[in-house]
Chains A and B, each alone.
Chain A
Amino acid sequence: MSSRKYASVLFILLMVLPSCVRADDFEHLRKDAARISTISAGFVQKKIMKILSKPLVSEGKFYFAAPDSIRWEYQKPVKSLVISNQGKTRRYIVSRGKWMEDRTGGVQAMKIVLNEVAGWMRGKFDSNPSFTAAVKEGANMQIILTPVDKSMAGMIEKIEITVSRKDLSVKSVRIIENASAETRIDFHSVVVNHTIDPSVFQDVP
């Protein structure tokens, strides 16, 4: 590559970089999000797939307490509950009207997901080496995670996390699996830094 061409490429990269990836953006996010000690919110999840004529809508409640306690509860159409607290993750399901602990390996997959979510709640968007992270500025801040490993193609194409500029809480998460399948989770009634009873991270309903 001639020095002139090299300079052109470098110039284009410098123009593009500020809008997509900068390590100090994430450092700022981490510092600012450190002020968040608790989050409680409701959520609406929409699953879009080719086999469905309209999105499959699920609803539930979400609780987070720093550093890594999470309660992720689906209330409809299928009830399920995942609690992650002090390094232990348990998943509960409703069978014949009673809450029972899930006996399959599904809890391990949820543990990985919840660890990731706990990181996002603390502003750690670029700490998973399996993803490259980029920031897109706008009315809200958008973090885009792209899998490094190409073998994840078809499983996860990218994850878009929208963060509120006001309080740095996560407003929505969009997991794009492929061109015809995605999951979108919108958080509502978000309350930041209000005391959450510790029993929320221990008790099943």
Chain B
Amino acid sequence: MRVFSVLIGFLLLVSCAALPAIRQQEEVGGKKFECPSPFLREKTRLIHAIEVHAAGQPQTVMMGVTLADPAFRSLSCALMSAEGMVLLEASLNSDGLRISRALPPFAEGDFIRKMMEDIELIFFAPQGDPVQKGVFSGGEPVCRWHSRLSGWIDASAGRDGSIVIRNYAENGGLRRSVQLDVAAHPYAIIELHAFERIPYSLVMTLIESEAVQDDTLQQKESRGGSP
């Protein structure tokens, strides 16, 4: 059993060799270390204007509606043209992915699955405990998570108050980088860079956000029952 644990530890160490080094640290500035966490804590509906950039040029602007429930890790989302034409509607929960509408090119390949993974990366805290806590060589606090499905996820806090979430493949290749300008609202401005065969980036500007009370909870409360 011990040999097995050592082997797993060795494999993790080898596989993350290409990841940015983290210096283990229990305290930052005399305070107990806390992981940078912009992630949603309650069911929230967010509406963003989304600028799509590719080949260094802006391509189009869309509107995105996200209804995210971190407790159940469930998501519903809709993508609309600036004129309000619904291009895509999909939801993800424990039953799997459900696509209500997908107009071309959004119906092609595994676009929707990847989009849902991006939304999870942005809004949901990584599952499980961090495998590493500490600081980068520049002193930025960072926590690192690992899962078989998501690969490696780093959440680090910049000196300017921004939070950066990075997702790496098992071999250490950078897949996504998400920068959050958390000054006003954690999700006021989101910049996502996707390092795909054809790289692209999204700049998401918050239009509105609201906490959502669960319908069943509301119904119980309106009937005078306990939640």
Chain A positions near chain B (C-beta within 8 angstroms): 45, 47, 49, 51-53, 56, 58, 72, 74, 77-80, 82, 93-96, 100, 102-106, 109-110, 113, 154-155, 177, 181, 183
Q: How far is the CA of A77 from the CA of B208 in the complex (A)?
A: 10
Query: Cβ of A82 and Cβ of B60 under 8 Å apart?
Result: no
Contacts of A103 in B (CB 8 A): 57-60
A95 adjacent to B58 (CB under 8 Å): yes
User: How far is B78's CA from A177's CA once the two chains are assembled, in angstroms?
Assistant: 14
Q: Are B101 and A154 in contact (CB under 8 A)?
A: yes
Q: Is B58 a contact partner of A100 (Cβ separation < 8 A)?
A: yes
| Partner-binding segment picked from B8-16, B83-91, B156-164 | B83-91
The total of chain B residues at the interface (CB under 8 A) is: 31
A104 and B45 contacting across the interface, CB-CB below 8 Å: no
Check if B188 is an interface residue, CB within 8 A of chain A. Answer: no
A53-B212, A95-B61, A183-B84 are known contacts; what are 17 more A-B pairs with Cβ within 8 Å? A49-B78, A49-B86, A51-B89, A56-B84, A58-B83, A77-B47, A78-B61, A78-B63, A80-B81, A82-B83, A93-B82, A95-B51, A100-B58, A103-B59, A103-B60, A109-B81, A154-B101
Does B67 have its Cβ within 8 Å of any Cβ on chain A? Answer: yes
**Total number of residue pairs linking A and B with CB closer than 8 Å:** 81
Q: Is A74 within 8 A of B82, CB to CB?
A: yes
User: Which of A47, A53, A105 lies at the interface centre, i.e. has the most chain B CB atoms within 10 A of its CB?
Assistant: A47
- Taking chain B's interface residues, is the majority helix, strand, or loop, or is none over half, making it mixed? strand
**Alpha-carbon separation in the docked complex, A102 to B82 (Å):** 11
User: B47, B53, B59, B210: which contacts A102 (Cβ < 8 A)?
Assistant: B59
Q: Assess whether A52 is in contact with B65, with CB atoms less than 8 Å apart.
A: yes
Closest CB-CB distance, A106 to chain B, in whole Å? 6
Nearest CB on B from A103, distance (A): 5
**Could you say which residues of chain A place their CB within 8 Å of the CB of B182?**
none
Q: CA A82 – CA B81 in complex, angstroms?
A: 12
Residue B167 interfacial (CB < 8 Å): no
A77 touches B49 (CB 8 A): yes
CB distance from B52 to the nearest CB of A (A): 8
Q: Which residues of B contact A106 (CB under 8 A)?
A: 60, 81
Q: Is there a chain A Cβ closer than 8 Å to B76's Cβ? A: yes
Does B35 make an interface contact (CB < 8 A)? no
